[in-house]
Chains A and B, each alone.
Chain A
Amino acid sequence: MILKVNNLKKHYGDVKAVDGISFSVKKGEIFGILGPNGAGKTTTLECIEGLQHHDEGDIEIFEKKMTVNDDFFKERMGIQLQESSLPPRMKVWEALDLFSSFYNKNVDWRELLVKLQLEDKKNNYFSSLSGGQKQRVFVALAMVNDPEVLFLDEITTGLDPMARRQMWNVMKTIKYAGKTVVMSTHYMEEAEYLCDRVMIIDKGKVIADGTPGELIDRMGMKNRVIIESEEKIDVEIFKTIKSVLDISVEKGKIEIEGKDTSVLADIARIINDRKIKANIQYKTANLEDVYLHLTDHFNEEVI
Protein backbone atom coordinates (compact mmCIF):
# COMPACT_ATOMS: atom_id res chain seq x y z
CA MET A 1 0.00 0.00 0.00
CA ILE A 2 1.45 3.30 -1.07
CA LEU A 3 -1.24 5.32 0.71
CA LYS A 4 -3.28 4.51 3.80
CA VAL A 5 -5.88 6.85 5.19
CA ASN A 6 -7.57 5.96 8.42
CA ASN A 7 -10.59 7.74 9.89
CA LEU A 8 -9.72 11.13 8.39
CA LYS A 9 -11.71 14.04 9.79
CA LYS A 10 -11.67 17.72 8.96
CA HIS A 11 -14.23 20.40 9.71
CA TYR A 12 -14.70 24.05 8.78
CA GLY A 13 -16.74 25.67 11.52
CA ASP A 14 -19.91 23.63 11.69
CA VAL A 15 -19.33 21.91 8.36
CA LYS A 16 -17.89 18.42 8.65
CA ALA A 17 -16.15 18.46 5.28
CA VAL A 18 -14.53 15.07 5.87
CA ASP A 19 -16.14 12.89 8.47
CA GLY A 20 -14.22 9.69 9.11
CA ILE A 21 -12.94 8.58 5.71
CA SER A 22 -10.71 5.49 5.44
CA PHE A 23 -9.20 3.93 2.34
CA SER A 24 -5.95 2.70 0.93
CA VAL A 25 -4.32 2.75 -2.47
CA LYS A 26 -1.98 0.15 -3.95
CA LYS A 27 1.08 1.01 -5.98
CA GLY A 28 0.27 1.35 -9.68
CA GLU A 29 -3.43 1.72 -9.10
CA ILE A 30 -5.75 4.43 -10.36
CA PHE A 31 -7.99 5.19 -7.44
CA GLY A 32 -11.08 7.33 -7.92
CA ILE A 33 -12.83 9.46 -5.34
CA LEU A 34 -16.37 10.05 -6.52
CA GLY A 35 -19.07 12.22 -5.10
CA PRO A 36 -21.31 15.20 -5.72
CA ASN A 37 -20.15 18.80 -5.23
CA GLY A 38 -19.34 19.53 -1.62
CA ALA A 39 -18.92 15.84 -0.78
CA GLY A 40 -15.42 16.43 0.58
CA LYS A 41 -13.24 15.24 -2.32
CA THR A 42 -10.99 18.30 -2.47
CA THR A 43 -10.63 18.49 1.31
CA THR A 44 -9.65 14.81 1.44
CA LEU A 45 -7.05 15.26 -1.30
CA GLU A 46 -5.62 18.43 0.21
CA CYS A 47 -5.22 16.80 3.62
CA ILE A 48 -3.27 13.95 1.99
CA GLU A 49 -1.20 16.38 -0.06
CA GLY A 50 -0.19 18.14 3.14
CA LEU A 51 -1.79 21.41 2.11
CA GLN A 52 -4.21 21.38 5.01
CA HIS A 53 -4.08 20.23 8.60
CA HIS A 54 -6.61 17.54 9.42
CA ASP A 55 -8.41 17.31 12.75
CA GLU A 56 -8.31 13.57 13.33
CA GLY A 57 -7.14 10.33 11.77
CA ASP A 58 -3.90 9.06 10.25
CA ILE A 59 -2.43 9.45 6.81
CA GLU A 60 0.43 7.19 5.86
CA ILE A 61 2.09 7.67 2.51
CA PHE A 62 5.30 6.13 1.14
CA GLU A 63 5.28 4.09 4.36
CA LYS A 64 5.71 7.22 6.47
CA LYS A 65 3.29 9.18 8.57
CA MET A 66 2.36 12.27 6.60
CA THR A 67 3.29 15.66 8.03
CA VAL A 68 2.01 18.94 6.66
CA ASN A 69 4.28 21.01 4.41
CA ASP A 70 7.18 18.52 4.47
CA ASP A 71 9.61 18.39 1.53
CA PHE A 72 10.10 14.62 1.88
CA PHE A 73 6.54 14.15 0.67
CA LYS A 74 6.48 17.06 -1.75
CA GLU A 75 9.47 15.61 -3.63
CA ARG A 76 7.57 12.37 -4.26
CA MET A 77 4.11 13.71 -5.02
CA GLY A 78 2.61 15.20 -8.14
CA ILE A 79 -0.12 17.67 -7.37
CA GLN A 80 -2.77 19.34 -9.48
CA LEU A 81 -5.17 21.60 -7.60
CA GLN A 82 -8.82 22.01 -8.51
CA GLU A 83 -8.64 25.79 -8.14
CA SER A 84 -5.35 27.04 -9.44
CA SER A 85 -3.77 28.88 -12.30
CA LEU A 86 -0.54 30.33 -13.61
CA PRO A 87 0.36 33.95 -14.26
CA PRO A 88 -1.48 34.79 -17.53
CA ARG A 89 1.68 35.93 -19.29
CA MET A 90 3.82 32.98 -18.27
CA LYS A 91 4.76 30.79 -21.21
CA VAL A 92 4.17 27.05 -21.05
CA TRP A 93 7.85 26.16 -21.25
CA GLU A 94 8.75 28.76 -18.63
CA ALA A 95 6.31 27.24 -16.16
CA LEU A 96 7.67 23.73 -16.74
CA ASP A 97 11.26 24.89 -16.50
CA LEU A 98 10.54 26.83 -13.31
CA PHE A 99 8.58 24.08 -11.59
CA SER A 100 11.22 21.47 -12.49
CA SER A 101 13.90 23.51 -10.78
CA PHE A 102 12.21 23.12 -7.39
CA TYR A 103 12.74 19.34 -7.31
CA ASN A 104 15.82 17.21 -6.72
CA LYS A 105 14.58 14.61 -9.19
CA ASN A 106 13.48 15.64 -12.68
CA VAL A 107 12.24 14.19 -15.91
CA ASP A 108 12.94 16.10 -19.10
CA TRP A 109 9.97 18.42 -19.42
CA ARG A 110 10.36 18.51 -23.18
CA GLU A 111 9.36 14.85 -23.26
CA LEU A 112 6.39 15.60 -21.05
CA LEU A 113 5.24 18.23 -23.52
CA VAL A 114 5.33 15.64 -26.28
CA LYS A 115 3.51 13.06 -24.16
CA LEU A 116 0.79 15.56 -23.28
CA GLN A 117 0.43 16.83 -26.84
CA LEU A 118 1.53 20.32 -25.91
CA GLU A 119 4.70 20.54 -27.95
CA ASP A 120 3.37 23.18 -30.31
CA LYS A 121 2.06 25.24 -27.37
CA LYS A 122 5.48 25.50 -25.77
CA ASN A 123 5.85 29.22 -26.45
CA ASN A 124 2.24 30.18 -25.80
CA TYR A 125 1.15 32.34 -22.92
CA PHE A 126 -0.82 30.35 -20.36
CA SER A 127 -3.80 32.67 -20.81
CA SER A 128 -4.01 31.87 -24.54
CA LEU A 129 -4.61 28.14 -23.98
CA SER A 130 -7.95 26.35 -24.16
CA GLY A 131 -9.43 24.74 -21.05
CA GLY A 132 -8.20 21.29 -22.03
CA GLN A 133 -4.71 22.56 -22.82
CA LYS A 134 -4.50 24.35 -19.47
CA GLN A 135 -5.44 21.16 -17.66
CA ARG A 136 -2.80 19.23 -19.60
CA VAL A 137 -0.24 21.84 -18.61
CA PHE A 138 -1.25 21.24 -14.98
CA VAL A 139 -0.79 17.50 -15.44
CA ALA A 140 2.63 18.14 -16.98
CA LEU A 141 3.57 20.42 -14.08
CA ALA A 142 2.47 17.73 -11.65
CA MET A 143 4.77 15.24 -13.37
CA VAL A 144 8.03 17.19 -13.70
CA ASN A 145 9.47 15.36 -10.68
CA ASP A 146 8.49 11.89 -11.91
CA PRO A 147 6.18 11.53 -8.89
CA GLU A 148 5.37 8.21 -7.23
CA VAL A 149 1.79 9.31 -6.67
CA LEU A 150 -0.16 11.74 -8.80
CA PHE A 151 -3.13 13.60 -7.32
CA LEU A 152 -5.66 14.94 -9.80
CA ASP A 153 -8.67 16.89 -8.58
CA GLU A 154 -11.57 17.04 -11.07
CA ILE A 155 -9.13 17.40 -13.92
CA THR A 156 -11.84 17.05 -16.58
CA THR A 157 -14.57 19.18 -15.02
CA GLY A 158 -15.75 21.83 -17.43
CA LEU A 159 -13.96 20.34 -20.44
CA ASP A 160 -15.79 19.65 -23.67
CA PRO A 161 -16.21 15.97 -24.65
CA MET A 162 -13.26 16.05 -27.07
CA ALA A 163 -10.89 17.55 -24.54
CA ARG A 164 -12.13 15.07 -21.94
CA ARG A 165 -11.40 12.12 -24.24
CA GLN A 166 -7.96 13.52 -24.88
CA MET A 167 -7.33 13.75 -21.15
CA TRP A 168 -8.49 10.16 -20.72
CA ASN A 169 -5.94 9.05 -23.28
CA VAL A 170 -3.27 10.93 -21.40
CA MET A 171 -4.32 9.24 -18.17
CA LYS A 172 -4.22 5.80 -19.78
CA THR A 173 -0.62 6.50 -20.80
CA ILE A 174 0.17 7.53 -17.25
CA LYS A 175 -1.45 4.34 -15.99
CA TYR A 176 0.54 2.16 -18.38
CA ALA A 177 3.71 3.86 -17.17
CA GLY A 178 2.90 2.28 -13.79
CA LYS A 179 2.13 5.49 -11.92
CA THR A 180 -0.18 5.52 -8.95
CA VAL A 181 -2.97 8.03 -9.42
CA VAL A 182 -5.50 9.29 -6.90
CA MET A 183 -8.16 11.24 -8.75
CA SER A 184 -11.48 12.82 -7.97
CA THR A 185 -14.29 13.20 -10.45
CA HIS A 186 -18.01 13.45 -10.66
CA TYR A 187 -18.19 11.82 -14.07
CA MET A 188 -19.05 8.16 -13.54
CA GLU A 189 -18.24 7.28 -17.13
CA GLU A 190 -14.75 8.57 -16.51
CA ALA A 191 -14.29 6.61 -13.30
CA GLU A 192 -15.56 3.44 -14.97
CA TYR A 193 -13.17 3.92 -17.86
CA LEU A 194 -10.07 4.86 -15.89
CA CYS A 195 -10.22 3.68 -12.30
CA ASP A 196 -9.17 0.32 -10.91
CA ARG A 197 -10.99 1.05 -7.70
CA VAL A 198 -13.33 3.78 -6.59
CA MET A 199 -14.76 5.16 -3.41
CA ILE A 200 -18.04 7.04 -3.45
CA ILE A 201 -18.34 9.71 -0.78
CA ASP A 202 -21.14 12.02 0.21
CA LYS A 203 -21.28 14.55 3.03
CA GLY A 204 -17.79 13.59 4.14
CA LYS A 205 -18.54 9.88 4.51
CA VAL A 206 -17.72 6.83 2.40
CA ILE A 207 -20.92 5.28 1.10
CA ALA A 208 -19.42 2.58 -1.12
CA ASP A 209 -16.07 1.35 -2.35
CA GLY A 210 -14.66 -1.35 -4.59
CA THR A 211 -13.91 -1.91 -8.25
CA PRO A 212 -16.52 -0.39 -10.56
CA GLY A 213 -17.56 -3.98 -11.47
CA GLU A 214 -17.95 -5.00 -7.87
CA LEU A 215 -20.09 -1.99 -7.09
CA ILE A 216 -22.38 -2.70 -10.02
CA ASP A 217 -22.69 -6.35 -8.98
CA ARG A 218 -23.10 -5.61 -5.29
CA MET A 219 -25.93 -3.19 -5.96
CA GLY A 220 -27.83 -6.04 -7.60
CA MET A 221 -28.07 -3.73 -10.57
CA LYS A 222 -29.57 -5.73 -13.38
CA ASN A 223 -28.72 -6.37 -16.95
CA ARG A 224 -31.77 -5.67 -19.03
CA VAL A 225 -32.70 -7.01 -22.43
CA ILE A 226 -35.52 -5.33 -24.30
CA ILE A 227 -37.20 -7.22 -27.13
CA GLU A 228 -39.42 -5.57 -29.71
CA SER A 229 -41.19 -7.54 -32.39
CA GLU A 230 -44.12 -7.39 -34.81
CA GLU A 231 -44.82 -10.99 -33.97
CA LYS A 232 -46.56 -12.11 -30.84
CA ILE A 233 -44.01 -13.72 -28.54
CA ASP A 234 -44.94 -16.02 -25.71
CA VAL A 235 -42.83 -14.89 -22.76
CA GLU A 236 -42.89 -18.41 -21.28
CA ILE A 237 -40.10 -19.41 -23.67
CA PHE A 238 -37.63 -17.23 -21.73
CA LYS A 239 -38.43 -18.68 -18.33
CA THR A 240 -36.13 -21.64 -18.95
CA ILE A 241 -33.09 -19.35 -18.82
CA LYS A 242 -31.39 -19.75 -15.46
CA SER A 243 -30.09 -16.18 -15.09
CA VAL A 244 -33.45 -14.53 -15.72
CA LEU A 245 -34.71 -12.61 -12.70
CA ASP A 246 -37.82 -10.95 -14.01
CA ILE A 247 -39.89 -10.63 -17.15
CA SER A 248 -42.33 -7.84 -17.86
CA VAL A 249 -44.34 -6.81 -20.89
CA GLU A 250 -45.19 -3.23 -21.55
CA LYS A 251 -46.67 -1.72 -24.71
CA GLY A 252 -45.63 -4.69 -26.76
CA LYS A 253 -42.07 -4.54 -25.45
CA ILE A 254 -40.71 -7.42 -23.47
CA GLU A 255 -38.22 -6.44 -20.80
CA ILE A 256 -36.13 -9.16 -19.26
CA GLU A 257 -33.87 -8.61 -16.28
CA GLY A 258 -30.92 -10.91 -15.93
CA LYS A 259 -28.50 -11.62 -13.13
CA ASP A 260 -25.46 -11.23 -15.36
CA THR A 261 -24.43 -10.60 -18.93
CA SER A 262 -24.98 -14.23 -20.03
CA VAL A 263 -28.70 -13.57 -20.23
CA LEU A 264 -28.25 -11.79 -23.54
CA ALA A 265 -26.67 -14.75 -25.31
CA ASP A 266 -29.36 -17.11 -24.00
CA ILE A 267 -32.17 -14.87 -25.19
CA ALA A 268 -30.56 -14.38 -28.57
CA ARG A 269 -30.21 -18.16 -29.00
CA ILE A 270 -33.86 -18.80 -28.20
CA ILE A 271 -35.05 -16.08 -30.57
CA ASN A 272 -32.76 -17.37 -33.28
CA ASP A 273 -33.86 -21.01 -32.80
CA ARG A 274 -37.49 -20.04 -33.19
CA LYS A 275 -36.76 -17.80 -36.16
CA ILE A 276 -38.52 -14.87 -34.55
CA LYS A 277 -37.90 -11.52 -36.19
CA ALA A 278 -37.14 -9.17 -33.34
CA ASN A 279 -35.15 -6.15 -32.38
CA ILE A 280 -33.04 -6.84 -29.30
CA GLN A 281 -31.60 -4.11 -27.13
CA TYR A 282 -29.19 -4.78 -24.32
CA LYS A 283 -28.79 -2.42 -21.40
CA THR A 284 -26.12 -3.13 -18.88
CA ALA A 285 -25.97 -1.39 -15.54
CA ASN A 286 -23.14 1.08 -15.21
CA LEU A 287 -21.45 3.02 -12.48
CA GLU A 288 -23.78 5.94 -13.16
CA ASP A 289 -26.77 3.82 -12.11
CA VAL A 290 -24.96 2.75 -8.96
CA TYR A 291 -23.94 6.28 -8.17
CA LEU A 292 -27.36 7.80 -8.68
CA HIS A 293 -28.95 5.00 -6.73
CA LEU A 294 -26.53 5.43 -3.83
CA THR A 295 -26.36 9.20 -3.62
CA ASP A 296 -30.17 9.54 -3.87
CA HIS A 297 -30.68 6.81 -1.38
CA PHE A 298 -28.12 8.34 0.96
CA ASN A 299 -29.65 11.77 0.76
CA GLU A 300 -33.11 10.42 1.50
CA GLU A 301 -31.85 8.65 4.59
CA VAL A 302 -30.27 11.79 5.93
CA ILE A 303 -33.33 13.96 5.34
Chain B
Amino acid sequence: MKTVSKMVVINTKLFVREFEGFFFTMIFPIIMLLIFGSIYGNKASDYFGGFGFVDVSVPAYIGIIIAITGLMSIPISIASDRERGILRRYRTLPGGATKVMISWVLFYYLVTTVGTAGLIVTGKLLYGLRFTGNALLVFFLYSLSTIAFLSIGFLLASFMRSARSANAIGMSLLFPMMFFSGAIIPMQNLPLSIKQISVYLPLTYVVDIMQKGWFGGSMSQYGTDLLVLSGIIVVSFLIVRFKFRW
Protein backbone atom coordinates (compact mmCIF):
# COMPACT_ATOMS: atom_id res chain seq x y z
CA MET B 1 0.00 0.00 0.00
CA LYS B 2 2.85 2.31 0.99
CA THR B 3 4.64 1.39 -2.22
CA VAL B 4 1.55 1.85 -4.38
CA SER B 5 0.85 5.33 -3.03
CA LYS B 6 4.51 6.37 -3.43
CA MET B 7 4.54 5.01 -6.94
CA VAL B 8 1.36 6.89 -7.87
CA VAL B 9 2.85 10.11 -6.50
CA ILE B 10 6.13 9.61 -8.38
CA ASN B 11 4.29 8.72 -11.59
CA THR B 12 2.30 11.92 -11.24
CA LYS B 13 5.48 13.96 -10.81
CA LEU B 14 7.11 12.30 -13.83
CA PHE B 15 3.93 12.89 -15.85
CA VAL B 16 4.04 16.60 -15.14
CA ARG B 17 7.82 16.86 -15.59
CA GLU B 18 7.79 15.08 -18.92
CA PHE B 19 4.87 17.26 -20.02
CA GLU B 20 4.01 15.54 -23.32
CA GLY B 21 1.49 13.13 -21.82
CA PHE B 22 0.27 15.85 -19.53
CA PHE B 23 -0.44 18.11 -22.49
CA PHE B 24 -2.35 15.50 -24.46
CA THR B 25 -4.59 14.31 -21.62
CA MET B 26 -5.07 17.54 -19.69
CA ILE B 27 -4.74 20.44 -22.09
CA PHE B 28 -5.38 19.24 -25.64
CA PRO B 29 -9.08 18.23 -25.02
CA ILE B 30 -9.75 21.61 -23.42
CA ILE B 31 -8.19 23.40 -26.38
CA MET B 32 -10.40 21.34 -28.69
CA LEU B 33 -13.46 22.33 -26.69
CA LEU B 34 -12.44 26.00 -26.79
CA ILE B 35 -11.90 25.96 -30.55
CA PHE B 36 -15.10 24.16 -31.52
CA GLY B 37 -17.03 25.80 -28.69
CA SER B 38 -16.11 29.26 -29.97
CA ILE B 39 -17.27 28.27 -33.47
CA TYR B 40 -20.52 26.50 -32.65
CA GLY B 41 -21.39 27.84 -29.16
CA ASN B 42 -23.81 25.90 -26.98
CA LYS B 43 -27.25 27.07 -28.10
CA ALA B 44 -29.94 24.45 -27.68
CA SER B 45 -30.99 23.12 -31.06
CA ASP B 46 -33.29 20.43 -32.40
CA TYR B 47 -30.37 18.98 -34.27
CA PHE B 48 -28.81 17.95 -30.92
CA GLY B 49 -32.11 16.81 -29.46
CA GLY B 50 -32.73 20.03 -27.66
CA PHE B 51 -29.17 20.37 -26.37
CA GLY B 52 -26.20 22.41 -27.55
CA PHE B 53 -22.98 21.51 -29.34
CA VAL B 54 -20.89 21.65 -26.17
CA ASP B 55 -23.41 19.52 -24.25
CA VAL B 56 -23.03 16.76 -26.82
CA SER B 57 -19.30 17.19 -27.28
CA VAL B 58 -18.13 17.06 -23.68
CA PRO B 59 -19.15 13.42 -23.08
CA ALA B 60 -17.61 12.53 -26.45
CA TYR B 61 -14.36 14.36 -25.66
CA ILE B 62 -14.21 12.50 -22.36
CA GLY B 63 -14.03 9.43 -24.60
CA ILE B 64 -11.07 11.03 -26.40
CA ILE B 65 -9.24 11.62 -23.11
CA ILE B 66 -9.83 7.99 -22.20
CA ALA B 67 -8.58 6.87 -25.62
CA ILE B 68 -5.43 9.01 -25.44
CA THR B 69 -4.54 7.42 -22.11
CA GLY B 70 -5.12 3.90 -23.38
CA LEU B 71 -3.71 4.17 -26.87
CA MET B 72 -0.85 6.60 -26.29
CA SER B 73 0.19 7.36 -22.71
CA ILE B 74 0.26 3.80 -21.37
CA PRO B 75 1.96 1.96 -24.25
CA ILE B 76 4.53 4.70 -24.84
CA SER B 77 5.50 5.08 -21.22
CA ILE B 78 5.71 1.33 -20.54
CA ALA B 79 7.57 0.59 -23.78
CA SER B 80 10.07 3.32 -23.00
CA ASP B 81 10.63 1.95 -19.49
CA ARG B 82 11.05 -1.53 -20.92
CA GLU B 83 13.52 -0.30 -23.53
CA ARG B 84 15.65 1.25 -20.79
CA GLY B 85 15.61 -1.86 -18.60
CA ILE B 86 13.58 -0.11 -15.91
CA LEU B 87 10.84 -2.75 -15.93
CA ARG B 88 13.36 -5.53 -15.35
CA ARG B 89 14.71 -3.63 -12.38
CA TYR B 90 11.19 -3.25 -10.92
CA ARG B 91 10.71 -6.98 -11.28
CA THR B 92 13.69 -7.69 -9.00
CA LEU B 93 11.84 -5.96 -6.14
CA PRO B 94 9.62 -7.94 -3.72
CA GLY B 95 6.09 -8.04 -5.07
CA GLY B 96 7.45 -5.81 -7.84
CA ALA B 97 5.22 -6.85 -10.72
CA THR B 98 1.95 -6.72 -8.78
CA LYS B 99 2.67 -3.48 -6.95
CA VAL B 100 3.85 -1.70 -10.08
CA MET B 101 0.83 -2.89 -12.12
CA ILE B 102 -1.65 -1.76 -9.48
CA SER B 103 0.09 1.62 -9.25
CA TRP B 104 -0.12 2.08 -13.01
CA VAL B 105 -3.84 1.26 -13.10
CA LEU B 106 -4.58 3.71 -10.27
CA PHE B 107 -2.34 6.39 -11.73
CA TYR B 108 -3.82 6.28 -15.24
CA TYR B 109 -7.35 6.16 -13.85
CA LEU B 110 -6.46 9.26 -11.85
CA VAL B 111 -4.98 11.00 -14.89
CA THR B 112 -8.05 10.49 -17.07
CA THR B 113 -10.30 11.53 -14.21
CA VAL B 114 -8.45 14.78 -13.64
CA GLY B 115 -8.44 15.45 -17.40
CA THR B 116 -12.17 14.75 -17.49
CA ALA B 117 -12.85 17.02 -14.53
CA GLY B 118 -10.91 19.82 -16.24
CA LEU B 119 -12.98 19.44 -19.38
CA ILE B 120 -16.29 19.43 -17.48
CA VAL B 121 -15.34 22.48 -15.44
CA THR B 122 -14.32 24.36 -18.60
CA GLY B 123 -17.59 23.45 -20.29
CA LYS B 124 -19.60 24.47 -17.28
CA LEU B 125 -17.84 27.81 -16.73
CA LEU B 126 -17.57 28.95 -20.34
CA TYR B 127 -20.58 27.38 -22.04
CA GLY B 128 -23.04 26.54 -19.27
CA LEU B 129 -22.73 22.83 -19.93
CA ARG B 130 -26.03 20.94 -19.39
CA PHE B 131 -26.30 17.54 -17.76
CA THR B 132 -29.54 15.59 -17.39
CA GLY B 133 -28.28 12.13 -16.45
CA ASN B 134 -27.70 10.34 -13.17
CA ALA B 135 -24.28 11.42 -11.89
CA LEU B 136 -23.58 8.13 -10.13
CA LEU B 137 -24.51 6.09 -13.17
CA VAL B 138 -22.42 8.29 -15.47
CA PHE B 139 -19.50 7.90 -13.12
CA PHE B 140 -19.90 4.14 -13.35
CA LEU B 141 -20.10 4.24 -17.16
CA TYR B 142 -17.05 6.50 -17.23
CA SER B 143 -15.11 4.11 -15.00
CA LEU B 144 -16.05 1.09 -17.08
CA SER B 145 -14.98 2.89 -20.25
CA THR B 146 -11.71 3.97 -18.67
CA ILE B 147 -10.91 0.49 -17.40
CA ALA B 148 -11.65 -0.90 -20.87
CA PHE B 149 -9.15 1.51 -22.43
CA LEU B 150 -6.58 0.96 -19.67
CA SER B 151 -6.84 -2.74 -20.57
CA ILE B 152 -6.24 -1.94 -24.22
CA GLY B 153 -3.28 0.17 -23.13
CA PHE B 154 -1.68 -2.68 -21.20
CA LEU B 155 -2.48 -5.04 -24.05
CA LEU B 156 -0.62 -2.80 -26.52
CA ALA B 157 2.18 -2.28 -24.00
CA SER B 158 2.66 -6.05 -23.78
CA PHE B 159 3.75 -6.17 -27.40
CA MET B 160 5.58 -2.88 -27.99
CA ARG B 161 9.33 -3.20 -28.37
CA SER B 162 10.16 0.48 -28.25
CA ALA B 163 8.66 3.84 -27.39
CA ARG B 164 8.95 4.80 -31.06
CA SER B 165 6.84 1.92 -32.30
CA ALA B 166 4.37 2.47 -29.46
CA ASN B 167 4.05 6.07 -30.59
CA ALA B 168 3.52 5.14 -34.25
CA ILE B 169 0.97 2.43 -33.50
CA GLY B 170 -0.80 4.59 -30.92
CA MET B 171 -1.22 7.43 -33.42
CA SER B 172 -2.47 5.14 -36.17
CA LEU B 173 -5.11 3.79 -33.81
CA LEU B 174 -6.04 7.05 -32.12
CA PHE B 175 -6.75 9.20 -35.19
CA PRO B 176 -9.16 6.89 -37.02
CA MET B 177 -10.89 6.28 -33.70
CA MET B 178 -11.26 9.98 -32.98
CA PHE B 179 -12.83 10.69 -36.37
CA PHE B 180 -14.82 7.50 -36.99
CA SER B 181 -16.28 6.88 -33.54
CA GLY B 182 -18.64 9.82 -33.38
CA ALA B 183 -16.38 11.65 -30.97
CA ILE B 184 -15.67 14.61 -33.25
CA ILE B 185 -18.04 14.12 -36.17
CA PRO B 186 -21.50 13.01 -34.94
CA MET B 187 -22.31 9.44 -35.92
CA GLN B 188 -25.36 10.43 -38.00
CA ASN B 189 -23.09 12.55 -40.23
CA LEU B 190 -20.75 9.69 -41.08
CA PRO B 191 -21.22 7.89 -44.43
CA LEU B 192 -22.42 4.30 -44.28
CA SER B 193 -19.05 2.91 -45.37
CA ILE B 194 -17.38 4.57 -42.40
CA LYS B 195 -20.10 3.41 -40.05
CA GLN B 196 -19.19 -0.15 -40.99
CA ILE B 197 -15.70 0.53 -39.70
CA SER B 198 -16.98 2.31 -36.59
CA VAL B 199 -18.47 -0.93 -35.32
CA TYR B 200 -14.93 -2.27 -34.84
CA LEU B 201 -13.59 0.75 -32.97
CA PRO B 202 -13.77 0.47 -29.16
CA LEU B 203 -14.08 4.24 -28.84
CA THR B 204 -17.45 4.13 -30.66
CA TYR B 205 -18.94 2.29 -27.69
CA VAL B 206 -17.42 4.66 -25.18
CA VAL B 207 -18.75 7.75 -26.98
CA ASP B 208 -22.18 6.13 -27.29
CA ILE B 209 -22.38 5.07 -23.66
CA MET B 210 -21.12 8.42 -22.36
CA GLN B 211 -23.55 10.47 -24.46
CA LYS B 212 -26.52 8.28 -23.64
CA GLY B 213 -25.65 8.27 -19.97
CA TRP B 214 -25.07 12.02 -19.99
CA PHE B 215 -28.62 12.70 -21.14
CA GLY B 216 -30.23 10.12 -18.90
CA GLY B 217 -30.69 7.27 -21.38
CA SER B 218 -32.04 4.05 -19.91
CA MET B 219 -29.95 0.92 -19.38
CA SER B 220 -31.64 -0.92 -22.26
CA GLN B 221 -30.26 1.66 -24.73
CA TYR B 222 -26.62 0.76 -24.11
CA GLY B 223 -26.70 -2.94 -23.38
CA THR B 224 -24.45 -3.62 -26.38
CA ASP B 225 -21.96 -1.01 -25.21
CA LEU B 226 -21.74 -2.59 -21.76
CA LEU B 227 -21.23 -6.01 -23.29
CA VAL B 228 -18.50 -4.88 -25.71
CA LEU B 229 -16.59 -2.90 -23.07
CA SER B 230 -16.75 -5.74 -20.53
CA GLY B 231 -15.62 -8.15 -23.23
CA ILE B 232 -12.61 -5.95 -24.00
CA ILE B 233 -11.66 -5.91 -20.31
CA VAL B 234 -11.87 -9.68 -19.88
CA VAL B 235 -10.01 -10.58 -23.07
CA SER B 236 -7.27 -7.96 -22.56
CA PHE B 237 -6.78 -9.02 -18.95
CA LEU B 238 -6.23 -12.62 -19.97
CA ILE B 239 -3.75 -11.74 -22.69
CA VAL B 240 -1.85 -9.25 -20.52
CA ARG B 241 -1.75 -11.78 -17.69
CA PHE B 242 0.24 -14.21 -19.82
CA LYS B 243 1.99 -12.07 -22.40
CA PHE B 244 3.24 -9.01 -20.52
CA ARG B 245 7.04 -8.88 -20.58
CA TRP B 246 9.07 -6.94 -18.02
Contact = CB atoms under 8 A, between A and B. Distances in A.
Interface residues of A, number: 24
B43 interface: no
Given A94-B13, A101-B3, A102-B99, A81 B89 contact: yes
SS class, residues of chain B in contact with chain A: helix
Interface string A205-240: 000000000000000000000000000000000000
Interface string A71-102: 10011010101011111011000100111011
Contacts of B91: 51, 69
Given A69-B97, A79-B89, 6 more contacts: A74-B93, A81-B92, A85-B89, A89-B17, A90-B14, A101-B3
Contacts of A103: 93-94
B6 A85 contact: no
B117 interface: no
A81 B14 contact: no
Contact of B14 (A83, A85, A87): A87
B92 A49 contact: yes
B95 interface: yes
Contacts, number: 63
Interface residues of B, number: 23
Given A74-B93, A75-B94, A85 B85 contact: yes
B7 interface: yes
Interface in A96-142: 97-99, 101-104
A99 B3 CA distance: 8
A53 B228 CA distance: 38
A86 B87 CA distance: 9
Contacts of B88: 51, 81, 83-84
A90 B10 contact: yes
Interface string B99-112: 10000000000000
